[in-house]
Structure 1
Amino acid sequence: MPAKAGAVTMQQVAECAGVSMMTVSRVLNDDARVRESTRIKVMRAVAALGYRPNISARSLAGARSYLLGLLYANPSAAYISELLIGALKSCRAAGYHLVVESCDMEEAAIGEQMLALAKESRLDGLILPPPLCESAPLMAALEAARIPYVRIAPFTRLDAAPYVCIDDAAAARDITARLIALGHRRIGFIKGHPNQGASRLRLQGFQDAMQAAGLRSARRDICQGYFSYKSGLRCAEKLLNRADRPTAIFASNDDMAAAVYAVAHRHGLDIPQDLSVVGFDDTLIATTLWPPLTTVRQPIAAIAGAAVELLTTNRRAAAVLRQPAAPRRLLDYAIVERQSTAPPTTPD
């Protein structure tokens, strides 16, 4: 049974692994001179004993602060909440602390401001979720200062910049195909924020599925949302006020899908008998709606956790930045079938 956190010393880890305390220290500080077999042996001892390094002492002893930063400028509180859960859990497991900071994408000096934050806080690396993962000024400033970063769900896949994502286009294509298989032909689509790459990929997947089925996605069936509940309300009103309204609506996130529910009820429409609705993300709101929402589950917490792992495990040989082939992770998505979809009551 592992010992309680804080009760185990480095000397005990060294004795358990059969190495010196200096070797344990080198392993914990990701020293590239340690052989992989020795590293594995030490880390097994760390896990078996439940050893928790003292972050303050490690920071004073070396060049690192054991602090990672997560910047955000995303309107979806549910999305950010899941990111925080995953990042905090992985930071704790790796012996790091997480610094969380909001910022304004419209700010002209965003690169300089975030760079100042990173230097003042002595951050060892940054996690850039959308839309910050698309900010060229921010990435240029971080690269110039050689501060490692990992992007989450970027649209532009730069060779030298590590990232973590799912296949948004494939996920959107799959869930659209399910609506088509139910018999829907007039399907409305609510786009995400135009400054986020996932918005374009989900639209692409939707249009690919429609085209593959020989269906046309008319311009008036596609409405510009912003990943917010308010924008979902506006788009749902626009789509459902038409005489030839869609029989199904695909919202690019669950917050906007929830807004479609509200507008549908206001119009006296039953979900799913009169209108099928699907979303994206599978955040908490998907199961609090009635009927529960059919949606794409992207493992948001796991994505954030993978970003932390990339930052904390790729520092030995070189910085995460500017490696010839920067690491990246593609995680699986899943379609979660609930009760918000059904065949259309009248054929299109």
Structure 2
Amino acid sequence: MTARRIERPAADIAQDKANAKSGGATINDIARLAGVSKKTVSRVINRSPLVQVQTRERVEALIREVGYVPDPMARGLAFRKSFLIGMVYDNPNAQYIVNMQGGALESLRGSGFELVVHPCDSKSDDYIAGVRHFVVQQRLHGVILVPRVSEDSALVDMLNEVGVRYARIAAVSLDQPRRMIATNDRLGAIEAANYLESLGHRRIGLITGPQRYLSARERGGGFIAALAKRGIELAPEYVIEGGYTFESGVAGAERLLALPERPTAIFALNDEMAAGVYKAAHRLGLSLPEQLSIVGFDDSPLATRLWPSLTSVRLPIWDMGLHAAAMLLSPEESPREGPLIAPHLVVRESCSSPGRV
């Protein structure tokens, strides 16, 4: 005998829908309203071909009507996999991380996956153990590794050991193309060096990031090499190691501007430190850019909020997050070569020829 669905009074159904909307609908609510099993609702959510078209349409319409949102963790438990993508980072620049998250979230939109973040201190002895706990506890589908943790081979070895897919973002290629987004930071720094030299600057200061960061070595090394190629040698006292923070930019600029022959231009390896240079210059009463030209790196929103607006190397951080998340959603479809990331200099008002009045 064929089973048939028992029709419920319309008033009862309307009341149940109202209750579900006001109280936060659950999968049980959807099953009851649709007159199907909880397993059938789960199959609809996960696009199983085992559901009849009419049933699928009825369940999907109810999901939209009552605003039901599947819980990622519950889906992971039910189907023995997670619908969570992790982002692991050790980066003092909040805007960088916000931009990266924005790109990743855009890539995940509509996929059923959610983003969870794990800040860490890569200088800590137990940070890899902490990341391992995060990955295993959350049962992550995959992990986006942001510089500088992306540069750590021991961390990557751990992820391979526990069987978690990953996407690495770093200044140069460190892995297989399907797992790697290389940002080519050196090229942007070379463009900055050539630009400052073309304006006539010969006495140039450099505020680097921490030397344990590959990005700092690539940006600083590219800048110094490009100047040397143009006949300009940076004396050691004109190179200051910063921490990729506003405060370290202030401190670095104060040291450079206290030199007997102060630089006519300063290149800071991120925009946060460049903003710190602005503050140090204003404390000394220097006019920008007439008495000091400044170049940053990343071209964050901060660059256009400073005055004069900051000339900066644009690194497409949002796109980097977008591509990294996409790699994890469809690893079997990842290209044999990673996306082309090409930093370039965005010229604004913070630079001029030295000594201009």
- What is the TM-score of this pair, normalised by structure 1? 0.79
Report the counterpart of residue 274 of structure 1 in structure 2: 291
Q: Contact 2:151–2:170 at 8 Å: present in 1 too?
A: no
Cα gap change, 1:93 to 1:295, in 2 (>3 Å): farther
Offset at residue 279 of structure 1 (A): 0.1
Pair 1:339-2:349 in alignment: yes
Report the counterpart of residue 226 of structure 2 in structure 1: 209
In structure 2, what is the Cα distance between the partners aligned to 1:165 and 1:94?
25
Q: Contact 1:231–1:256 at 8 Å: present in 2 too?
A: yes
Letter matched to residue 246 of structure 2: Y
In structure 1, what is the Cα distance between the partners aligned to 2:317 and 2:87?
14
Deviates further, 104-113 or 155-164: 155-164
- What is the TM-score of this pair, normalised by structure 2? 0.77
In structure 1, what is the Cα distance between the partners aligned to 2:169 and 2:136?
22
Aligned residue runs from structure 1 range 1-348, under 5 A: 25=48, 56=72, 59=76, 62-155=79-172, 157-159=174-176, 162-315=179-332, 328-345=338-355
In structure 1, what is the Cα distance between the partners aligned to 2:343 and 2:172?
17
Gaps of 5+ in 2: 1-43, 50-67
Q: Contact 2:191–2:344 at 8 Å: present in 1 too?
A: no
Q: Contact 1:111–1:140 at 8 Å: present in 2 too?
A: no
Per-residue deviation, residues 210-268 of structure 1 (Å, max 9, x unmatched): 11211111111111011011111111011001121110000000000000000011111
Cα gap change, 1:312 to 1:153, in 2 (>3 Å): same
Letter matched to residue 169 of structure 1: R
Q: Contact 1:254–1:282 at 8 Å: present in 2 too?
A: yes
Offset at residue 100 of structure 1 (A): 0.9
Q: Contact 2:171–2:183 at 8 Å: present in 1 too?
A: no
SS in structure 1 opposite 2:82?
coil
SS in structure 2 opposite 1:65?
coil
In structure 2, what is the Cα distance between the partners aligned to 1:290 and 1:113?
41
Letter matched to residue 260 of structure 1: V
Per-residue deviation, residues 100-158 of structure 1 (Å, max 9, x unmatched): 11111122122222112111111011111111112233212111111111111155613
Offset at residue 296 of structure 1 (A): 0.7
* Larger Rg computed on CA atoms: 2
In structure 2, what is the Cα distance between the partners aligned to 1:161 and 1:226?
31
Offset at residue 178 of structure 1 (A): 0.5
Letter matched to residue 186 of structure 1: R
Larger RCO, structure (CA 8 Å, separation 6 or more)? 1
Per-residue deviation, residues 264-292 of structure 1 (Å, max 9, x unmatched): 11111111000000000011211111000
Q: Deviating runs (4+, > 6 A) in structure 1? A: none
Per-residue deviation, residues 311-337 of structure 1 (Å, max 9, x unmatched): 111157xxx8xxxx9753331222111
In structure 2, what is the Cα distance between the partners aligned to 1:292 and 1:154?
26
Report the counterpart of residue 4 of structure 1 in structure 2: none
Letter matched to residue 135 of structure 1: D
In structure 1, what is the Cα distance between the partners aligned to 2:232 and 2:48?
62
In structure 2, what is the Cα distance between the partners aligned to 1:141 and 1:179?
43
Offset at residue 66 of structure 1 (A): 1.4
SS in structure 2 opposite 1:328?
coil
Per-residue deviation, residues 7-62 of structure 1 (Å, max 9, x unmatched): xxxxxxxxxxxxxx9x9648xxxxxxxxxxxxxxxxxxxxxxxxx99564753553
Letter matched to residue 339 of structure 1: E
In structure 1, what is the Cα distance between the partners aligned to 2:226 and 2:71?
50
In structure 2, what is the Cα distance between the partners aligned to 1:270 and 1:83?
34
Q: How many residues align?
A: 297
Deviates further, 206-215 or 249-258: 206-215
In structure 2, what is the Cα distance between the partners aligned to 1:91 and 1:53?
15
Offset at residue 87 of structure 1 (A): 1.3
SS in structure 2 opposite 1:341?
coil
In structure 1, what is the Cα distance between the partners aligned to 2:190 and 2:213?
18
Gaps of 5+ in 1: 1-20, 27-51
In structure 1, what is the Cα distance between the partners aligned to 2:115 and 2:332?
17
Cα gap change, 1:209 to 1:167, in 2 (>3 Å): same
